[in-house]
């Protein structure tokens, strides 16, 4: 079973979107640049059914949902390059990508933390205060390129723009799924971060709840609006642009800066100048502008220690329901690399109390990044 549909509004001119199914029924979507061949390959593998055993349990002390997905213990872990499941398929080896080539490919995770088919939960012995629920949602893998040895920082602007369009497409579709409260696009990069596959890729989680950090940020934004009548995130951006001390780089539509109270050894936020709730709301010009600034920032980060920097790139998007009116789309880049040969570990104060202690001044990090060309 396969299908194809034309590029939607906001896509790079001439781009193509093709939908198909993997052998176990999971969806795969190809996003291709103009001129790419049709992606019609079928998946000949015999695969076990995808686990639907994910569940949620609510922590009444912190008022947070925790996802339990024990089947993920058996997921693929750092295979050699010639066994990478994210590379295109060949005549002698079939991977998660049935096609012999692709530009950007998105597919449902084979080891999902959340599933649209999550089984009903019956957990005997839970305390009365602890609620439980099936782990409804969806987890997708976003392969940025078919080149195993590439990185997001090495993509061309046109290819990086294609990834942005894929994020927008998936945000729109996943937000419309029943029970989805928030869509989170992110990239974990580097073994130090804990990635299990070295092929350049990211992930997308469609949560059935609004995540703790988003709840906290939107709660603070609501309080700020009540006090001042203004948007908290817009005021933060305006303050950083006015100061300039922590601005790393800026374009017509975006500014990248190190936040004044940065928690991580390297932390850069990228904000659009126009307040929008999510990636699909970005205009063509804003998407193009973002790709140029983001590639610039990523290359500066890799030049800090003359080696690929481990990082987490996290998109903060509006939830699908209450709170959207206070949200402001932005990307947060963080790294645990505190020097060329040292990592920052979250020890007692950070892990137990949530009180971060950083060893570097945000102004010094911004100055160093500005000086890299």
Cβ-proximal residues to 282 (8 Å cutoff; 6+ apart), any chain: 10, 164, 168, 272, 276, 290, 329
Q: Compute how many other C-beta atoms are within 10 angstroms of the C-beta atom of residue 46.
A: 7
* Structure tokens, 216: 């906290």
Nearest one of 177, 201, 163, 187 to 287, comparing CA atoms: 163
Q: Give yes or no for a contact between 270 and 259, defined as CB atoms under 8 angstroms apart.
A: no
Q: Phi and psi (nearest 5°) for 211?
A: -65, 155
* Structure tokens, 236: 């933060």
What is the DSSP secondary structure assignment for residue 350, as one 8-state letter? I
Surface-to-core class of residue 68, CB atoms within 10 Å of its CB (0-12 exposed, 13-18 middle, 19+ buried): middle
Nearest one of 162, 30, 146 to 84, comparing CA atoms: 146
Give the separation between CA 69 and CA 115, rounded to whole angstroms: 10
Give the separation between CA 206 and CA 99, rounded to whole angstroms: 26
Q: How far apart are the first and last CA of the chain?
A: 48
| Widest Cα–Cα separation across the chain | 64
Give the separation between CA 208 and CA 243, rounded to whole angstroms: 39
Going 64 to 169 to 308 to 305, the CA torsion angle's sign is negative
Give the separation between CA 287 and CA 292, rounded to whole angstroms: 9
Active-site residue list = 201
Going 29 to 35 to 37 to 40, the CA torsion angle's sign is positive
Give the separation between CA 213 and CA 64, rounded to whole angstroms: 10
Query: Strand 266-272 and strand 330-335: pairing?
Result: antiparallel
């Amino acid at each position: 079973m396969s299908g194809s549909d034309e590029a939607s509004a906001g896509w790079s001119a001439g781009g193509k979107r093709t939908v198909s199914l993997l052998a176990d029924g999971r969806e795969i979507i190809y996003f291709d640049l103009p001129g790419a061949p049709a992606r019609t390959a079928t998946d000949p593998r015999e695969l076990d059914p995808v686990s639907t055993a994910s569940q949620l349990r609510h922590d009444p002390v912190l008022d947070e949902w925790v996802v339990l997905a024990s089947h993920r213990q058996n997921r693929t872990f750092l295979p050699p390059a010639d066994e990478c499941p994210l590379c295109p398929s060949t005549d002698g080896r079939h991977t998660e990508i049935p096609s012999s080539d692709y530009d950007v490919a998105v597919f449902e995770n084979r080891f999902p933390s959340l599933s649209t088919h999550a089984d009903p939960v019956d957990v005997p012995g839970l305390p009365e205060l602890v609620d439980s629920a099936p782990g409804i949602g969806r987890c997708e893998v976003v392969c940025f390129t078919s080149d195993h040895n590439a990185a997001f920082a090495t993509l061309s602007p046109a290819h990086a723009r294609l990834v942005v369009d894929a994020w927008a497409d998936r945000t729109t579709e996943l937000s419309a799924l029943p029970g989805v409260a928030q869509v989170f696009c992110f990239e974990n990069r580097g073994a130090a971060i804990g990635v299990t596959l070295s092929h350049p890729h990211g992930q997308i989680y469609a949560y059935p709840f609004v995540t703790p950090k988003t709840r906290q940020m939107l709660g603070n934004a609501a309080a700020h609006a009540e006090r001042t009548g203004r948007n908290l995130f817009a005021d933060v951006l305006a303050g950083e642009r006015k100061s300039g001390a922590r601005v790393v780089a800026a374009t017509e539509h975006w500014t990248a800066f190190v936040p004044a109270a940065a928690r991580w050894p390297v932390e850069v936020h990228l904000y659009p100048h126009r307040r929008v709730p999510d990636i699909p709301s970005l205009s063509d010009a804003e998407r193009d502008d973002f790709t140029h600034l983001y590639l610039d920032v990523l290359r500066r980060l890799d030049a800090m220690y003359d080696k690929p920097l481990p990082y987490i790139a996290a998109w903060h998007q509006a939830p699908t329901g209450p709170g959207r009116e206070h949200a402001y789309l932005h990307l947060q880049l963080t790294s645990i690399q505190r020097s060329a040969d040292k990592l920052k570990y979250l020890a007692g104060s950070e892990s137990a109390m949530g009180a971060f202690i950083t060893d570097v001044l945000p102004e010094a990090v911004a100055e160093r990044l500005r000086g890299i060309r």
